[in-house]
Amino acid sequence: MAKCGICNKGVTFGIKVSHSHRRSNRAWKPNIRRVKAIVDGTPRRIYVCTRCLRSGKVTRAV
């Protein structure tokens, strides 16, 4: 469940390269938090990345 409910940021795949230059697959996961936010006028629990929380794209419900 590593996907933001606001901006749809998800897992990004790439290649890990060691010091001896051996290559293997790896994944970068976004920093996802489960928060209580106002969605369509009602408070709901959604998964949001911290970039959306910090930039104010999400209105938190108290």
Quote the percentage of the chain above a pLDDT of 90: 95
Residue 42 CA to residue 28 CA, distance in Å, equals 32
Read off the pTM.
Answer: 0.78
**pLDDT at residue 55, rounded to an integer:** 96
**36, two tokens:** 């209580």
Written as tens digits, the pLDDT of the chain (62 aa) is 689 999 999 999 999 999 999 999 999 999 999 999 999 999 999 999 999 999 999 999 98
**pLDDT at residue 62, rounded to an integer:** 83
Residue 50 CA to residue 5 CA, distance in Å, equals 11
**11, two tokens:** 């897992």
DSSP 1: -
